[in-house]
Amino acid sequence: VPAFQIITTRHLEELRSILGNENVLTDQPALEIYGRDETEDLFFPPEVIVRPSTADEVSAVLRVASRERIAVTPRGGGTGLSGGALPIYGGIVLAMERFNRILEIDEVNFQAVVEPGVITETFQRAVEEKGLYYPPDPASRGSSHIGGNLAECAGGPHAVKYGVTRDYVLALEAVLPSGKPLHVGARVLKNATGYSLAHLLIGSEGTLAVITKIFLRLLPLPRHRKVLLAAFPSVEKAMTAVASVFRGGVTPATCEFLERAAVEVAEQRLGKKFPNGQAAAQLIIEVDGDHEPALAEEIQAVAQAVEEQGATDLLLAEDPPKIREVWDLRRGIGEAVKAISAYKEEDTVVPRSRLPELIAGVKQICAHHKIRSICYGHAGDGNVHVNLLKADMDQNLWARSSEEAVGEIFRLTVSLGGTLSGEHGIGYVQRGFLPIAVHEESIRLMTEIKRVFDPAGILNPGKVFPP
Ligand SMILES: Cc1cc2nc3c(=O)[nH]c(=O)nc-3n(C[C@H](O)[C@H](O)[C@H](O)COP(=O)(O)OP(=O)(O)OC[C@H]3O[C@@H](n4cnc5c(N)ncnc54)[C@H](O)[C@@H]3O)c2cc1C
């Protein structure tokens, strides 16, 4: 365990002189809020929360922390599912919520400049008003931050056609743990100029530097969308259909999988009925583009592909309110599952043709450990969220069985050519499992990289690497 300093009155005074009293919080309600994210029911109270609003303030805080060897945990919207924003050694939580300005939307070059604390959906709405599109859309986009999305390399339903957060970042400004400012990348669409440090920072889970400004690439907003809901008599048939949708020649904008239990919990929580809610499994397949007749042809091809794989009922949503309804239900599933009981959520990802084996294996492993599982997710990417639910199980048995089950699920995932996390990151809760997917030499290189960026080891300690 690294030996970090406990925060003293002297430290607090120094932080207040940098940020003002109102941006240095030590009251109990604040410690309660900033000691949690959305990961399971974990709670690690920080000693102090600081709320900077400029890169110079971030730099000054980090200089104090490096000098005094105090742990610092950056925090965005606190929606993370791998415990990345949990201050497991106490110390300082660096809350980025005041970095909330959209600085520029460049309609000529299709670019935007934002601060990291901008809420993902707020940014998406702002660019859409100008006929532009920022596709990365985690289901948490109503409260996640763009900065948190970068740190986790967030995906979402539309990643299957448009890629993940990393694919939209051109350049970054950040602050190193020493307090030194860092400018990486450039506002260009091609860049072969040295190592891509921007891409190294994306997905680094707040362990290498604190991101303070982000330069993003945008797309034109597709003019039309159509959504097909395909119901299947079994989970296996739905999973087999996923690869055949793509083999039919269409790249859908989304291809989401829901098993019946996932639909049921969302229906209960939201008090709404999902079309085809009684089906054993469903796929939500969206196509988008500017040319309506072409979309009608694509939907036709998708319908044919899923029917050949045993889809029973097909429903088409074409007008925006209907489409929104489908997506509201889909986005509500995560919260609904979390509300049932203590749980663990895994973020497995495999090549999409291996999905049937993944899901069959997960069900087998969970049955063996007598754990209820609910699966749903971004099947087009081969990315399935596996939720293990504690329900009535004794706490000790749950702790042991769930840990074993997660290890078995990860080993299965890797044996199918997959890996541990598609979009939630390793953070705190998955760190012990990292060696299942990442070779020893790669972990050694990663620890060396961490040391180069953060020789004092103060930035988000206890994350990513096995303890
Ligand atoms: C209901 C629900 C649905 C979700 N659906 C999806 C989904 O579809 N796709 C998906 O990818 N994720 C999803 N997530 C997970 C989560 O929303 C994402 O990981 C998101 O990117 C986290 O952003 P945040 O701002 O909340 O970050 P936080 O949770 O606050 O932090 C996450 C990590 O980012 C670091 N960090 C934050 N800001 C900075 C910064 N400025 N500089 C450096 N490091 C920083 C933190 O230290 C931490 O390690 C979901 C979560 C929930 C609760």
More confident residue, 3 or 439: 439
Q: What is the pLDDT of residues 174-194, one digit of tens each?
A: 999 999 999 999 999 999 999
**For position 387, what pLDDT does the model report?**
96
| Ligand 1 proximity of 38 Cβ (cutoff 6 Å) | yes
Output the CA 144–ligand 1 centroid distance in Å. 6
CA of 155 from ligand 1 middle (Å) equals: 10
Given pLDDT bands bounded at 50, 70 and 90, which one contains residue 342?
confident
Q: Output the residue whose Cα is nearest ligand 1's atom 27.
A: 148
The pLDDT value given to residue 296: 95
User: 147 CA distance to ligand 1 centroid (A)?
Assistant: 8
User: What's the mean pLDDT when you consider all of the chain?
Assistant: 96
Task: Report pTM.
Answer: 0.97
- Give the closest residue (by CA) to ligand 1 atom 18: 80
pLDDT band at 91 (very low <50, low <70, confident <90, very high): very high
Percentage of the chain exceeding pLDDT 90: 94
Determine whether the shortest distance from the Cβ of 145 to ligand 1 is under 6 A: yes
Mean pLDDT in residue range 136-164: 97
Residue from 88, 257, 424 whose mutation best tests the ligand 1 pocket (most atoms within 8 A of CB): 424
- Centre of ligand 1 to C-alpha 313, Å, is 35
Nearest CA to ligand 1 atom 13: 138
Q: How confident is the model at residue 215 (pLDDT cuts 50, 70, 90)?
A: very high
Protein residue with its CA nearest to atom 53 in ligand 1: 79
35 lines ligand 1 (CB under 6 A): no
pLDDT range class, residue 276, cuts 50, 70, 90: confident
Pocket lining: 139 vs ligand 1, CB cutoff 6 Å: yes
Burial of 296 (0-12, 13-18, 19+ CB in 10 A): middle
User: pLDDT value at position 275?
Assistant: 85
Most ligand 1 atoms within 8 A of CB, residue of 58, 79, 465 to mutate = 79
pLDDT at 2: 66
Establish whether residue 154 lines the binding site of ligand 1, counting it when its CB lies within 6 angstroms of any ligand atom.
Answer: yes
Region 441-445: what's the mean pLDDT? 98
Note the pLDDT tens digit of each residue in 53-81.
999 999 999 999 999 999 999 999 999 99
Mean pLDDT to the nearest integer, 217-244: 97
Report the pLDDT averaged over residues 85-99.
98
Which ligand 1 atom minimizes the distance to the CA of 84? Answer: 49
Residue 378 CA: nearest ligand 1 atom is 8
pLDDT at 341: 85
Closest Cα to atom 9, ligand 1: which residue?
138
**Residue of the nearest CA to atom 52 in ligand 1?**
140
Indicate if the pLDDT at residue 50 is higher than 80.
yes
Q: Is 305 in the pocket of ligand 1 (CB under 6 A)?
A: no
Is it the case that residue 302 has pLDDT exceeding 90? yes
Closest-lying ligand 1 atom to the alpha carbon of residue 81: 15
**pLDDT above 80: residue 162:** yes
pLDDT higher than threshold 90 for residue 392: no
Summarize the confidence of residues 352-357 as an average pLDDT: 97
Establish whether residue 82 lines the binding site of ligand 1, counting it when its CB lies within 6 angstroms of any ligand atom: no
- pLDDT tens, 307-323? 999 999 999 999 999 99
Q: Among 140, 172, 208, which is best to mutate for testing ligand 1, by the most ligand atoms less than 8 A from CB?
A: 140
Residue holding tokens 């100008």? 130
Evaluate: CB of 239 within 6 angstroms of ligand 1.
no
Confidence of residue 248 (pLDDT cuts 50, 70, 90): confident
Compute CA distances 425 → 136, 199, 414, 438, whole Å.
Answer: 16, 15, 16, 13
Mutation test of ligand 1: which of 50, 75, 88 has the most ligand atoms closer than 8 Å to its C-beta? 75
Residue 225 β-bridge partners: 288
62 Cβ closer than 6 Å to some ligand 1 atom: no
